């Protein structure tokens, strides 16, 4: 697996007159995990979506291994960046197996056999090989999210983005998905994780970035960010959530 570093420089995104990202700077070293925390509407999800061009930045730069990709072909860029969504977004009309096989065939042009083999391998990694012939609707939320993670990993991305991957899950299912993400982090995958799970951020992240009003207000190792926050806004936020 080749993992890349990710850097975001002075990134701006606007929806009409509403400026959602107002100059975000963030560096994620190769093989490390950065958790992005912050209040609702602070621009965390938009940041992830702008990194893989689901939203078009109006200004600023995104760099993979220090090479600017902000004007790269979006399809080519997205092949290098995996993304996991809050609502899983599994293809509802396809089986679990086909959810992995379809992009492998359509994007990476693998043969039917290769795609199937790789898909089953990744489903096995998340403990769901036996669910391969089922429709996503037959799975629990936690299982669906694990399939979504397997689907993204099967594309062998250099960076993984997680957009509130456990927010839509019942509490008892959160742990399994977070455990899987922690395992992935331990393998040295470059990860950016938008999360409300402060325990996860504290124990897994190499650095934590606090966003507010479209900017990264504070960034640092989890110990420092959680124990001795320097900005009053972060202190107020932590008082509310912890």
Partner 1 sequence: MSDLLDTFLNWDYIAEVLPDLLKTGLVNTLVLAGFSAVLGTVLGLGLALLGLSHRRWLRWPARVYTDIFRGLPAIVTILLVGQGLAVVARPLVGTNPYPLGILALSLIASAYIGEIFRAGIQSVDKGQSEAARALGMTHTATMARVVVPQGIRRVLPALVNQFISLVKDSSLVYFLGLLVSQRELFRIGQDLAANTGNQSPLVAAGLVYLAITVPLTHLVNAVDRRLREGRPVRGGDTLDELEPARG
User: For binding to partner 1 (CB under 8 A), which residues are involved?
Assistant: 52, 54, 74-76, 78-79, 81-83, 85, 87-93, 102-103, 106-107, 133-138, 141, 144, 148, 151-152, 155, 168
Compute the least distance from the CB of residue 134 to partner 1, in Å. Answer: 5
Nearer to partner 1, 39 or 141 (CB): 141
What span, in angstroms and rounded, lies between the C-alpha atoms of 161 and 121? Answer: 21
Compute the least distance from the CB of residue 45 to partner 1, in Å. Answer: 12
Nearer to partner 1, 88 or 226 (CB): 88
H/E stretch holding 119: helix 112-125
3-state SS record for 148-188: HHHHHHHCCCCEEEEECCCCCCCHHHHHHHHHHHHHHHHCC
Nearer to partner 1, 136 or 229 (CB): 136
Nearer to partner 1, 116 or 144 (CB): 144
H/E stretch holding 101: helix 96-106
Nearer to partner 1, 9 or 168 (CB): 168
Compute the least distance from the CB of residue 33 to partner 1, in Å. Answer: 19
The tokens for 126 are 């998340």
Compute the least distance from the CB of residue 81 to partner 1, in Å. Answer: 8
Of residues 211, 181, 171, 163, the one with CA closest to residue 20: 211
Compute the least distance from the CB of residue 13 to partner 1, in Å. Answer: 16
Angle, to 10 degrees, between the axis of helix 96-106 and the axis of helix 141-154?
Answer: 20
């Amino acid at each position: 697996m080749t993992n890349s570093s990710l850097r975001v420089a002075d990134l701006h995104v606007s929806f009409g007159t509403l400026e959602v990202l107002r100059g975000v700077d963030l560096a994620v070293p190769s093989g490390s995990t950065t958790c992005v925390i912050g209040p609702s509407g602070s621009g965390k999800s938009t940041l992830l979506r702008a990194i893989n061009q689901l939203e078009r930045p109006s200004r600023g730069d995104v760099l993979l291994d220090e090479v600017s990709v902000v004007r790269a072909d979006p399809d080519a860029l997205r092949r290098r960046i995996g993304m996991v969504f809050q609502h899983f977004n599994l293809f509802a009309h396809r089986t679990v197996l086909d959810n992995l096989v379809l992009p492998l065939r359509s994007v990476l042009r693998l043969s039917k056999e290769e795609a199937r083999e790789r898909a089953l391998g990744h489903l096995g990694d998340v403990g769901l090989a036996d669910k391969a012939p089922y429709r996503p609707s037959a799975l629990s939320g936690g299982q669906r999210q694990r399939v979504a993670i397997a689907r993204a990993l099967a594309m062998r991305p250099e960076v993984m983005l997680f957009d509130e991957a456990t927010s839509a899950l019942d509490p008892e299912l959160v742990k399994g998905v977070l455990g899987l993400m922690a395992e992935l982090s331990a393998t040295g995958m470059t990860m950016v994780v938008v999360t409300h799970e402060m325990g996860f951020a504290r124990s897994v992240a190499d650095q934590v970035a606090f966003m507010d009003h479209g900017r990264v207000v504070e960034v640092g190792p989890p110990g420092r960010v959680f124990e001795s926050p320097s900005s009053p806004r972060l202190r107020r936020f932590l008082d509310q959530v912890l």
